Homo-oligomer: A and B are copies of this chain.
Amino acid sequence: MADRQATVRLVEESEATGRVAAIFDDIKATKRIDFVPAIWRVLATNPAHLDLMWTRLKAIMHPEADGGTSRLDPLTREIIALAVSATNGCSYCINSHTAAVRKLGLDVEGLGEVMAIVGLFNSTNAIAEGYQIEPDILPPLD
């Protein structure tokens, strides 16, 4: 778990005040976890950016928290996050979103299906680019 060292100091929950403290509380309540994940403690070194990122992430990933609706269920949203993170090879993000999909009920076999699809299309992506294949005709989307 000590595979890298953050390049800035993480803000402790105990030292947060004002807007930062309020966001830390909202993160724990919204995500139903009992600690503030490291990425938010790093972003807290710049409170304005912490606010912008949390506002955006909450609106996109937790629309139900504010009475909103979504065409995608929570597990599907986390699966997309995991697929993006695996494609980019972001360790922190992969760990975080794997924990989230597990909590939402995906088992090992289901995770295997997600990884198989991620692997498959990273393969076809490289081949389609490598051959410079022209797109098939796509009817316009209303």
Interface residues of A (CB under 8 A from B): 1-9, 35, 37-39, 42-43, 45-46, 48-49, 52-53, 55-57, 59-61, 70-72, 76-77, 79-99, 102, 106-142
Q: Cβ of A56 and Cβ of B56 under 8 Å apart? A: yes
User: Known contacts being A61-B120, A102-B141, is A127 close to B4, with CB within 8 Å?
Assistant: no
Question: Which residues of B are found within 8 Å of A82, using beta-carbon distances?
Answer: 130
Q: Cβ of B128 and Cβ of A90 under 8 Å apart? A: yes
Q: Cβ of B7 and Cβ of A45 under 8 Å apart? A: no
- The CA-CA distance from A84 to B56 in the complex, in Å, is 21
Q: Cβ of B123 and Cβ of A120 under 8 Å apart? A: yes
Determine how many copies of this chain the complex contains: 6
Q: Cβ of B134 and Cβ of A5 under 8 Å apart? A: yes
Question: Which residues of B are found within 8 Å of A5, using beta-carbon distances?
Answer: 1, 95, 132, 134-135, 138
